[in-house]
Structure 1
Amino acid sequence: MLNKKYATKPKKVEVEERGHWGSKVEFLLAVAGNIVGLGNVWRFPYLCYKNGGGAFLVPYLVFVVSCGIPLFLLETTIGQYTQEGGITCWRKLCPLAEGIGFAGQLILLYTGMTYSLILAWALLYLVFSFSSQLPWASCNNYWNTDDCVDFSSRNTTHEWTNQTNTTSAATQFWERRVLAISGGIEELGSIRWEVMLCVISVWTICYFCIWKGVRSTGKVVYFTATFPYVMLIILLIRGLTLPGALEGVMFYLLPEPSRLTDPQVWMEAGAQIFFSYSVGVGTLAVLGSYNTYNNNCYKDCLWLCLLNSATSVVAGFAVFSVLGFMANEQGVPIAEVAESGPGLAFIAYPQAVALMPLPQLWSICFFVMLLLLGLDTQFVAMEVVMTSFIDMFPTDMRRAGRRESFLLLFCLTCFVCQLVMITEGGMYVFQMFDYYACNGACILFLCVFETLALGWVFGAERLYGIIKDMTGVKASPFFKICWLYLTPLVSLGTFICSLVEYKPLTFNRWYVYPSWAYVVGWILALSSILLVPGWALYKLATGTGSLSQRFYQLCQPDLDYSLTPKKIETELQHIRGKHLQLM
């Protein structure tokens, strides 16, 4: 027998508390920083012009009301109610649907790898913006070819409009200097070391923004979520004072009601809503989980949704006023300079900036805005993934130092997997990930099952009572209709249409991917989609009892976790209601 004198007592392991936002402002800024991102600047304005101008706002608003706001409120509510991450919240609400949580985190992982590369490109452009002459403003560089056209010389407009084999200096800088793009995905080539250094810088910044959890994230968003608006206002004022700006704005908003009969217009409006509102992947649930139980998430959600859509519209004025100026300077139609995505950020807008007085100043403003818009979206997504997995193993992962180590491992893993995108053929891989792995169809699929699981299995009436219990506000009955019928039906219809209208990915309208690349693309898409039914089948197969008993048990919420008096009363009311219905 051991002498008591020498017996060692077991060490007490210190487990850090999960924590809450330091204030309501931190929550609002974190959500605003996440949902207001690059898509508001480089995707919405182009979609608006392409799909009928002002008429595009009709399908856009239909999706906002029927899907965007109801899903936004739904996810924020379940996060605030359960105080759990994007995976474990499903264990509390509907264990059978836990695969939705895993699928959402996988999509965030894919998105994080592509998003950080976009930020690296923006950082590289920002560095070049401090040059005495912008490198994409002339054809006197070693990467330029004989068919390069310099738009800063007024006498090149005729040359540009009368030759089909000419390339702008901005395009050559993007393709030949930044990307050094190869002939296809089979030719990966060497790593672009400058881009790799920028990628490392982006991951390092994001690491230190969230390494202490909401304690650090909540402080960083005060700057990253607000300063882009300062830059946007500056660029908007500058754009509207340029010659040709009015034509650009009219081109952006000029209504074409006939476009409303095109199903593609409605599909693109739906995809924009699901992307820009960050629904379906668990982001809002995690951000909401750091709120106090009685936070008025109902009012918060309505204001944040309004902010997101208003920012998209305002960004359109900033972008198309500059594109109108560019078209005016070159003497070409605005349609020829209008771009979306990387084409707008890294070719069209830099090309327009090169035509302005003090081009370096406006280039710096633009790329600082892009960087900050993207950075808070990126590090909030990282925080969501971290929280979701730490909440799965709270005892182990909340020990001192564990979070920082796991976050470092996460960043290194993403960086290593991302190296293939930083090669000379990496742009083809990037487009494949963006088109398939981060596809809107994947998110639509998750949203269909999310609303079915919460609206029908957990219960829309229970959700309605939870909002009243937490906020003291009685939500509009319209949301119950959305959660039960409108949102799942609209999401399912859009998902089916996206599959019917599917077109194989091409690059720059001329490069067709090899067959094996399309197979890899579909594997990436199905990797998240199949997690939902796959996880449900796994839980059914490994449960106890008959199949019907397992199914019933997995559909029951766990109501015995940290029940506050308000929660207990909510559940009792729900049980009484069910009892009265059966009588």
Structure 2
Amino acid sequence: MDYRVPGAVSNGETIPAHPGMEKQKEEEENQTLERGHWNNKLEYLLSVAGEIIGLGNVWRFPYLCYKNGGGAFFIPYLIFLFTCGIPVFVLETALGQYTSQGGITAWRKLCPLFEGIGYASQVIVVLLNFYYIIVLAWALFYLFSSFTIDLPWGSCDHEWNTENCVEFQKANASLNVTTENATSPVIEFWERRVLKISAGIEHLGSLRWELALCLLLAWVICYFCIWKGVKSTGKVVYFTATFPYLMLVVLLIRGISLPGAMQGVLFYLYPDLTRLMDPQVWMDAGTQIFFSYAICLGCLTALGNSIVQGPPTLTVPIFLPDGTSFVAGFAIFSILGFMAQEQGVPISEVAESGPGLAFIAYPRAVVMLPFSPLWACCFFLMVVLLGLDSQFVCVESLVTAVVDMYPTIFRKQNRRETLILLVSILSCLVGLVMLTEGGMYIFQLFDYYAASGMCLLFVAIFETLCIGWVYGADRFYDNIEDMIGYRPWPIIKYCWLFITPAVCMATFLFSLIKYTPLTYNKKYVYPWWGDTLGWLLGLSSMVCIPLWIVYKLSMIKGSLRERFRQLVCPDEDLPFSLRAGQPLPSTRPGLLMLTELESHC
């Protein structure tokens, strides 16, 4: 859409103006209304890669593997990949490119009745912004702790260590290494030095000021990565999206060279098919796919809306997250095998600490490397960069959605930067509660409920129903062909129509039926009000869709049929693909504005 304001005219003649004033006025107008665009295709691809390759590939995927039957987990994972992950990924990327709008206004223009999808996604993003960056704060704490000659989690001679601490790499079979109460210095550093974890959510305790400063630093870095929009983001991703792979390869090589590594790899690949009967395994697979591809969050839509004439949506490396997760799994399980052999326990009992897996298994491997402080710095820098990519894209998604909703307010000089600053400050303040001594329990609540698989599945159901049945899968395919020059794989259309909503609905219902309350480390049980708070976090996003449908229907007069017909019509400003008859003049080749054609809504 052309936002340029034509010059003032009087009686058909342009009113002359002072050249300096005219130039200044034009600059002000451009500052007010111009949308940022990617400088080239590579910046866009790296930004998408940085978003879809995140911390989940490093610590969440391996954790879910050994939790859900090792290699058996690949079966539901691949099923979700091809039936849900790729189809919804293509849908959201194409939606942003076609509408050139953020996560809310894109649905408003395409189908006003389902604008609630955008609100639901952004509520999830808001909650993600609160807790996802906490992992970066932990990683920064480890990074700063690595600037020493001897790593603090490599020995048991520190004030936070207990009498049960055993340096397993120095022990031999004659020592009492298999004592039930024996712990490693890595685990004690994590729980007693970093977290100083309390007995439960009822005891939040005091704020961990060291972690609070790390959180502040993480938000400062995030802010300056995106404060100029895609112009600054496009430059940052050249480093943040590529460097982590170098360190992952280094950790993989070192991991498979450790004694006991093969047992870990076998545990990783050997399938326990009995676990497939547990609906939670399928739920975890679906959640991981949705997180890996950042779908149902509005992030892909926000990235795609800054594309001018491409790039083709399907040229994005859509299999990159799976390859990264697979390789990271080898690195993790080789290290788990080594740790299990050293401690004399089954692999399944090693590092049972959920999100803390990256802060136990990987640091343990780093200790075994020559010049361990150097490798520790590189590793935790990799963790920070992995999380930073995903974090600032989530913030960018939220800011883009707000700016596109109120362009006359925020598309003015410095106002967008101010909005990003306000979002960063608010999110940082809310995140402080997760950096108290009981903050880990709050973090787990957010991770289990706020951005849970149920929330993402619920949004995906309505996204595919809206595109496949309300807007029309064939019509959307026509729009994609006009943008990229060819039609995507036909199977994707049938996924939108039948497979994806059916699979998501079945998994959603199973997750409700087999719901189990949250526990921490399989030991601590949350109180009833903790679970209630978690459900409120989860429902806060899901209720947006039905409430918006009811609200819009109640605001329009006419019969129910007439109101539905009016609310499912796409915006007239959207380009319309003409596939029959003589082409009419349009601003984009092969595209017509809806106002130039008869609407059949």
The question of whether the paired residues in 1 share the 8 Å contact of 2:351 and 2:360 is answered with no
1:570 to partner: Cα distance: 9.2
Deviation larger for 388-397 or 167-176: 167-176
Correspondent of 2:391 among 375, 378, 385: 378
Residues 294-351 of structure 1: CA distance to partner in whole angstroms, max 9, x if unpaired? Answer: 4311233xxx221111111111112222222223333433223255642311123223
SS at structure 1 position matched to 2:155:
coil
The question of whether the paired residues in 2 share the 8 Å contact of 1:152 and 1:354 is answered with no
Residues 119-166 of structure 1: CA distance to partner in whole angstroms, max 9, x if unpaired? Answer: 0001101111122221112221111222222224314884231x2223
1:408 to partner: Cα distance: 0.8
1:167 to partner: Cα distance: 2.7
Deviation larger for 420-429 or 378-387: 420-429
Distance 1:181 1:255, change over 3 A: closer
Equivalent-residue separation in structure 2 for 1:376 and 1:294 (angstroms): 22
Equivalent-residue separation in structure 2 for 1:357 and 1:227 (angstroms): 21
What are the residue-to-residue correspondences of 1:463-542 with 2, within 5 Å? 463-542=476-555
The question of whether the paired residues in 2 share the 8 Å contact of 1:206 and 1:375 is answered with yes
The question of whether the paired residues in 2 share the 8 Å contact of 1:157 and 1:330 is answered with no
1:419 to partner: Cα distance: 1.7
Task: Report the equivalent of 1:5.
Answer: none
Equivalent-residue separation in structure 2 for 1:157 and 1:352 (angstroms): 24
What are the residue-to-residue correspondences of 1:428-439 with 2, within 5 Å? 428-439=441-452
Equivalent-residue separation in structure 1 for 2:527 and 2:288 (angstroms): 28
Matched residue type, 1:233: V
Deviation larger for 499-508 or 75-84: 499-508
The question of whether the paired residues in 1 share the 8 Å contact of 2:467 and 2:473 is answered with yes
Task: Report the equivalent of 2:303.
Answer: 287
What are the residue-to-residue correspondences of 1:175-190 with 2, within 5 Å? 175-190=191-206
Task: Report the equivalent of 2:363.
Answer: 350
Residues 151-187 of structure 1: CA distance to partner in whole angstroms, max 9, x if unpaired? Answer: 24314884231x2223322222111111111222122
Equivalent-residue separation in structure 2 for 1:408 and 1:63 (angstroms): 37
SS at structure 2 position matched to 1:435:
helix
The question of whether the paired residues in 1 share the 8 Å contact of 2:572 and 2:595 is answered with no
Equivalent-residue separation in structure 2 for 1:508 and 1:328 (angstroms): 21
Equivalent-residue separation in structure 2 for 1:327 and 1:183 (angstroms): 27
1:462 aligns with 2:499: no
Distance 1:54 1:514, change over 3 A: closer
1:267 to partner: Cα distance: 2.5
Correspondent of 1:419 among 432, 455, 464: 432
1:192 aligns with 2:205: no
Task: Report the equivalent of 2:92.
Answer: 75
Matched residue type, 1:210: I
Return the TM-score normalized by structure 2: 0.89
Deviation larger for 539-548 or 460-469: 539-548
Distance 1:325 1:356, change over 3 A: farther
Residues 86-136 of structure 1: CA distance to partner in whole angstroms, max 9, x if unpaired? Answer: 000011101111111111111111112111111000110111112222111
Structure 1 unaligned blocks of 5 or more: 1-8
The question of whether the paired residues in 2 share the 8 Å contact of 1:103 and 1:528 is answered with yes
What are the residue-to-residue correspondences of 1:65-144 with 2, within 5 Å? 65-144=82-161
1:554 aligns with 2:571: no
Matched residue type, 1:409: L
Residues 197-239 of structure 1: CA distance to partner in whole angstroms, max 9, x if unpaired? Answer: 0000000000000000000001100000000011111111222
Distance 1:413 1:428, change over 3 A: same
1:568 aligns with 2:568: no
Correspondent of 2:319 among 278, 296, 306: 306
Correspondent of 1:57 among 50, 74, 87: 74
1:388 aligns with 2:401: yes
1:57 to partner: Cα distance: 2.0
1:268 aligns with 2:268: no
Equivalent-residue separation in structure 2 for 1:88 and 1:470 (angstroms): 19
Equivalent-residue separation in structure 2 for 1:269 and 1:574 (angstroms): 44
Residues 349-398 of structure 1: CA distance to partner in whole angstroms, max 9, x if unpaired? Answer: 22343344433233223212211111100011111111111011112101
SS at structure 2 position matched to 1:174:
helix
Distance 1:150 1:242, change over 3 A: closer
Equivalent-residue separation in structure 2 for 1:377 and 1:360 (angstroms): 26
Residues 532-578 of structure 1: CA distance to partner in whole angstroms, max 9, x if unpaired? Answer: 111111112222333332222111111334674446359799979x7
